[in-house]
Structure 1
Amino acid sequence: MEWTVGFPDLRSTEFPMLWALTPYGDAVFNQRQIPLLLTGLDRLPAACGGEWVRQARELCQLVERGTHLYLWFVGD
């Protein structure tokens, strides 16, 4: 199952960072956006979860610890 399968059901006002992710488009998050992305991951419904959430958290932590880093999600 695709990791973004439940994303269309997420409300953009409640999950603004996750709502930006689509399987076909690119999304880029800067250091100031990472805390909002992590908050969204914390509140993500179980149906949207999976191993990708752990991996995304690890990547978020790398961006937070670095300088001039971005987290890129690259679509097809």
Structure 2
Amino acid sequence: MNATDISQALSQRPFKPFRLTLSSGREIPVLNHDAILFNEPRTTLLVVEGERFHVVDLEHIVALTFGGRPTAEQLAS
């Protein structure tokens, strides 16, 4: 996965929520287009999820998946 793929998903209008799947199997929901910030060399990103945040190296993102509804837990966080 590269920064361009993620940027394209973020710039879709209307925005479509998606999930990032990490090499560990963990999934991080991206519920709005303002939820991700890239570092300057675009090798790492920050995903804001409610009051929490995740710092992720792009090399650990194995999939970007559209569809599915966020769980109540994801919406509450």
- TM-score, normalised to structure 2's length? 0.29
Q: Which has the higher contact order (CA 8 A, sep 6+)?
A: 1
Write 1 or 2 for the structure with the bigger share of helix.
1
- TM-score, normalised to structure 1's length? 0.29
Write 1 or 2 for the structure with the bigger share of strand.
2
